[in-house]
Amino acid sequence: MKKHFILPICALLLLAGCDFLQKEPLTSITPNNFFTSADDAESSLTAVYDALQGTGGYGQDLYVAGEMPSDNVTSINGDVNAVQNIAWTPNTSQVNNIFRQMYVGVNRANIVLKYVPNVPMDTTRRSQILGEARFVRALCYFNLVRAYGGVPLRLQPTESSQPTETNLPRASADDVYNAVVSDLQRAAIQMPAANPNRAGRNAAGALLARVQLTRRNWAAAQAAAQTVIARNVPLNATFKSLFPAENKGAESLFEIQYAGTADGGSILPDLLLPLPFATYSFSKFSIPSAELIAFADTVNDRRWAYNGNINSNGTFVGRDHVSYLDATKNRASGANANDRGPFVFKWTSIGGNFNSADNSYVLRMAEVFLAYAEASNELNGPTQDALDKLNRVRTRAGLTALTTASPQAASKQALRNEIDRQRRLELAFEGERWWDLVRYARHTLADGSASHTVTALDIISRRRAGGARDANFLLFPIPQAEINTNPQIQQNPGY
């Protein structure tokens, strides 16, 4: 979302938490005199998308939370130590930031949904705006419920600081998930089919498939994925062409947009890349783990294979392995330990001064094919139909197509293992690995016959003192700040 965020919108949309000083001219801005034109409606929707860029959202912490606890990455940076070691507490910064930022998005969407219906404007576009706001609200609530469990379910804007309005009890996780599904189903009807730089109808279907996989509603997940597949959405011809993300073809269903300016840039490349790509040298986040690199086929799998040497300003930097940069022998002038080794290479901006123009994927078509294959296998075991969807991802990666006679399709368990493998290799570093591991753990807890090669409980046992497979850590704690200010909310077990 390229930032065209004006101060009056902040005054209107952040009534329950804007940090800007309330100067006299802003006190006259009210819903009644702001939402008077189509431009007002469009500006309010821009503010909804803008909420996703925040540090607590896709600007940083959702990617940290989605990768750092997992087996994909490691780091010695103290800013991510608690998340990496699954030692988070109610006061851990990422735990607090994600919770707060997702509710910023929820509240902005709620204001749009309350006031835009009365704006005099083109009725088709007004309906589309409402669908897009529902999509963002659903995305925010999905991120909340899978991270924290049941949370306060706010479907109206918070427009005062009165405790009766701000202090709500936790809804059940099922109630939150049901609200997410309802929003996505309505959004899919209202949103435009094509929506450059924003979320469209296919994004709603793709997110719905992800939600239903998380709930283990296999038939609903398969149906949601099929609605997108039926529209003949293609994959990019090559995996390499997806990165860096800048609305890269039809495969991109929803990206977080960045302009690369001081008030609209992404900080992720600087957090992930070595000098001289990054602005300066420091211990980076999300260093690809040796286990992941050994897990991948770095010769034949085009997502991980050697792609050529990389030079910057005439200096050898490293070897491009598509998904990661091998800078083990980095010979850049003055290169130190921070700039040698493997680095994530899906964000490749150079010299952005923490203001990169690289977009970030939230949803892309490859995941939809994998979701269909997974849901189909859980329902029916290996079928050619499931394999056809899986093969779309495999063959793009240069791997051979599977048939029902392939060892990977010998049983439901064998195909489950293969689908898990392809999800990890395809979506590495894009913020979904930890959540996949969490849902694998919940799958096995719900159905002892359904095993996964590795789950979040295995990682919890490895990382936490004592080695206990503590299921309490499948959820984050509710932030202590929320516990302190909202007497109606209770903490998650184990914290």
For 29-57, how does the pLDDT look when each residue is reduced to its tens digit (9 = 90+)?
Answer: 567 778 999 999 999 999 999 999 999 99
Highest averaged pLDDT of the listed ranges 18-27, 237-246, 362-371: 362-371
Q: For residue 111, what are its two tokens?
A: 């204001």
pTM metric for this prediction: 0.94
Counting other chains too, the contacts that 378-385 makes at CB distance below 8 Å and 24 or more residues apart are 378/216, 378/218, 378/412, 378/416, 378/450, 379/218, 379/219, 379/222, 381/411, 381/412, 381/415, 382/409, 382/410, 382/411, 382/412, 382/414, 382/415
How high is the pLDDT of residue 333? 58
How high is the pLDDT of residue 152? 97
Q: What is the mean pLDDT of the chain?
A: 92
Q: Is the pLDDT of residue 15 over 90?
A: no
pLDDT band at 314 (very low <50, low <70, confident <90, very high): confident
Return all residues near 357 (Cβ < 8 A) that are at least 6 apart.
246, 258, 259, 260, 265, 266, 349
